[in-house]
Each structure stands twice: as C-alpha cells, then as structure tokens.
Amino acid sequence: MTNCTTCRNDYDETDTEAVKHHTEAVDCSQSCRCRGRTRCYNCRGSFCYCTAH
C-alpha cells in the first residue's frame, strides 16, 4: 500500500486504475485550483464543475 500525498488515502500500487487516480494529472478545462492536480484532489471551488473529475 502507498499513501497518497494529495488525499492522504492508501492505495494499492499494483492496481493500475488506483495508480492513475492518485498520480495522473487532470486537465478539467476549467481555470481552477484542481487543474493539473491528480484526480483524487477535490478542489471544492464554488465555480468549479470538475469536483468529480
């Protein structure tokens, strides 16, 4: 198990989907805090439409 530095949750590094969720950057096409962060990041911005990624 690996602990994600973004969301602080543990994930299985042998699970490719989990690795993508915690390591690959998001381009949500909105100019908000979560742009370029990993999919597990939840920006909770009032004008952001990509909290689910």
* φ and ψ at residue 2, rounded to 5 degrees: -120, 140
What is the model's pLDDT at position 47?
Answer: 61
The mean pLDDT values, 10 residues at a time, for the chain of 53 residues are 94 96 83 79 68 53
Q: Is 26 within 8 Å of 35 (Cβ atoms)?
A: yes
Sign of CA dihedral 9, 13, 19, 23: positive
Give dist(CA 15, CA 38) in Å, integer. Answer: 16
What is the model's pLDDT at position 25?
Answer: 87
- Side-chain-facing half-sphere of 30: CA atoms under 13 Å: 14
Which tokens sit at 45? 């911005």
Task: Kindly report the pTM of this predicted structure.
Answer: 0.73
What is the model's pLDDT at position 26?
Answer: 79
